[in-house]
Amino acid sequence: MRLIALDTATESVSAALADGEKLAVRLETERNRHTERLLPLVDEVLRENGLKPADLDVIAFGAGPGAFTGLRVACGVAQGLAWALEKPVVAVSNLQAAAVRAQTMGAAGVILIALDARMGECYAGAFKLGEGLAQALTEPELIKPQDAAQIAERFGCTVAAGSGVDLYGDKLALPAGVTLLRGVAPDAGDIARIALVMAQRGETTSAALASPLYVRNRVALTIEERARGERLQ
């Protein structure tokens, strides 16, 4: 199975080609260039491996949670490719991608993933690590950093990772015994690893039904709310 995976949920932009057991990843870390750079990265990773878009079997993308604009870019490009090629789509959780990346870095047991959601909040979820994919124990949720301890206690997390952990660190006030694993930065390669398994299980959707996972419903205050001095954090 040949699969292309796209990820623009963070400040980085990446594309990955999974061809059987072979995985090729192209990543750029320049900010605010998702729209400009995603398709060129797709073209590069395909050409460097002697393939054309028509050779692909599945299109995958990081569905979120993450930056609103970034999620729409990856979803839109995935939909466009899938429509043009008449291929199925796999939408992958970026929280799960972080859990898979943490596992490749040595994490084990039950892990709390906290991704920076800006505005003084985190996207969070708990996952059980083991053979195969990281198993989600919770639905994705939007939390304040100080609420991470409740999730860790509820599911017996032994590790915490993600950009929210890197940002807030000890401010998360996690229970004793929870190890902070810093520097976990998933990309399209992690999306591809998960998408391959999902596609083999038949967990695909059509281009028309593919959609981002936003979690947060609001990203700004109204003029009236700002005038009253209200804040989102």
Burial status of residue 125 (CB atoms within 10 A of its CB: 0-12, 13-18, 19 or more): buried
**Confidence at residue 228, expressed as pLDDT on a 0 to 100 scale:** 63
CATH code of the domain containing 56: 3.30.420.40
Q: Is 111 within 8 Å of 126 (Cβ atoms)?
A: yes
Same domain, 41 and 109: no
Same domain, 6 and 62: yes
Over residues 177-207, the pLDDT tens digits come to 999 999 999 999 999 999 999 999 999 999 9
Kindly report the pTM of this predicted structure: 0.91
Report which of 12, 206, 176, 38 is spatially closest to residue 101, judged by C-alpha positions: 12
Question: Is 219's pLDDT higher than 90?
Answer: no
Stretch among 149-153, 156-160, 171-175 having the lowest mean pLDDT: 171-175
Same domain, 68 and 175: no
Structural domain including 166 reads 95-181
Question: Is 103's pLDDT higher than 70?
Answer: yes
Q: Is 210 within 8 Å of 201 (Cβ atoms)?
A: no
